[in-house]
Amino acid sequence: MRIEQSILSNLIQNEEYCRQVAPFLKKEYFSDKTERVIYEEFEKFFSKYNKQPTLDIVKIETGNRKDVLDHQVKDVFDYLDKVTPDEKADAWLIDSTEKFCKDRAVYLSIMDSIQIIDGKDKQRTKDAIPALLSEALSVSFDNHVGHDYLEDAESRYEFYHRVEEKLPFDLEMFNTITKGGLSKKTLNVILAGTGVGKSLFMCHVAAAALKQNQNVLYISMEMAEERIAERIDANLLNLSMDELATVDKEIFTNRVQKLASRTEGKLIVKEYPTASAHAGHFRALLEELKMKKDFKPDIIMIDYLNICASQRLRQGANVNSYTYIKAIAEELRGLAVEYNVPMLSATQTTRSGFTSSDPGLEDTSESFGLPATVDLMFALISTEELQELNQIMVKQLKNRYSDPQLHKRFIVGVDRSKMKVYTVESEAQDGISDAGYTAEKSAFDSSQFGTRMKAIETDGFKF
């Protein structure tokens, strides 16, 4: 028996199986004319009445169709007379049906891709092919239909107390505001003006991750690969930028070898021409690194977001900067979710934000859609006074990890000659507005209404 026969037999006569797989099946998956007609009649009846049709109903509806010839009706009747359903929807049958759906989806996407390449598909361009294949490969039976607030309370409690796997910073305050580091499947963005230290900060995070035995992929859209590596060398080898140009090769080699012996991680730097690469190119790079180098990143750095291209949109007269930059952010965040990694990138401030000592989300250049998409966004602020102290002020702008009002502003030290960022003494945070707050009670608990609700919770409702 072919898997298609088993699927159709159980769709009509096995309700447990039908409820599990019906949402994922498509008529295109059935190549045989007889089987497609049977599925079409099943789908039409099931969608309208939310129950399975009987064999007789399928026969009657097929006989009434004007697009089915007499000999095809006979084939359907003969097919249905041989239907023998399984007694229950066992794991093998569900898994086999899922594999069937995935195989057919991949096959159909390949055939569609061939049509596009041959120019027979006038609606789609070659840029649509990666999305077609990606969608086909993602076919799976996900029967989760949502979180039941009351019935799933226990699993929710376990979620609250589960230790989430994060990539920690080597900077105390950043671990504080993110509750331990960057989470997987997130897009995190630095906002700063030209020359303030976006690339410096990203290179420092990349170096710190490598020292923590993590794999780092650093994608540069602005500087050459060697320039990025030079900054990371200054950080990891404890040599200033000037010293790197004059240091003896033996000393340089020894320090690199010593570093290699202390970490199990890898750092790959890849350069793309400005505004030429998008999430599709990055996805292809990730797959190529996986095949050629057995390399799977633990964090992806993109320097920087605004000079990436969009995979879905072409910049031109019909696409404004808001839509275009937001599309780039959504695609990059989708890539982070797909590969289960945190992603760190950067964006420029507006002209007014560059001269401001207190930038906000409104100072994001080109598109306010960017802060709407990201999980963490913070500004790096540099003034003449801070530069004299070798410090940078950090201001939280958006934070899905914790309350952004807690430690909204704080100071970190910076050594620009060695491309390092470091934690400063606690005294340096004194006097900073919004550096932090403590509250024994929430604002709600402190209100009169909150006090009454607390009493009701303790004593019960009184009517």
pLDDT tens figures, 10-52: 888 888 888 888 888 999 999 999 999 999 999 999 999 989 9
Q: Compute φ and ψ for 267, nearest 5 degrees.
A: -130, 120
In the predicted model, is pLDDT for residue 433 greater than 80? no
pLDDT of residue 361: 87
pLDDT of residue 222: 86
Q: Per-domain residue ranges for the chain? A: 3-137, 166-231+261-429
Mean pLDDT of 327-337: 92
* 76 exposure class (CB count in 10 Å sphere: 0-12, 13-18, 19+): buried
In the predicted model, is pLDDT for residue 367 greater than 90? no
Q: Measuring CA to CA, which residue among 122, 187, 126, 215 is closest to residue 376?
A: 187
Mean pLDDT of 150-164: 82
The yes or no reply on domain 3-137 and CATH 3.40.50.620 is no
Would you say 268 and 206 are in contact if contact means Cβ atoms under 8 Å apart? Answer: no
pLDDT of residue 216: 95
Mean pLDDT of 54-73: 91
What tokens appear for 242 in the block? 């000037």
Would you say 4 and 100 are in contact if contact means Cβ atoms under 8 Å apart? Answer: yes
Would you say 267 and 211 are in contact if contact means Cβ atoms under 8 Å apart? Answer: no
Q: Which band of pLDDT confidence, cut at 50, 70 and 90, is reported for residue 85?
A: low
pLDDT of residue 439: 45
Question: How are beta strands 182-183 and 166-167 bridged, if at all?
Answer: antiparallel
SS3 category, 418: coil
Question: How are beta strands 216-220 and 182-183 bridged, if at all?
Answer: unpaired
Q: Which band of pLDDT confidence, cut at 50, 70 and 90, is reported for residue 440?
A: very low
User: How far, in Å, CA of 292 to CA of 280, rounded?
Assistant: 18
How many CA within 13 A on the CB side of residue 21?
31
What is the domain class of 166-231+261-429 according to CATH?
Answer: alpha beta
How many CA within 13 A on the CB side of residue 149?
0
In the predicted model, is pLDDT for residue 455 greater than 60? yes
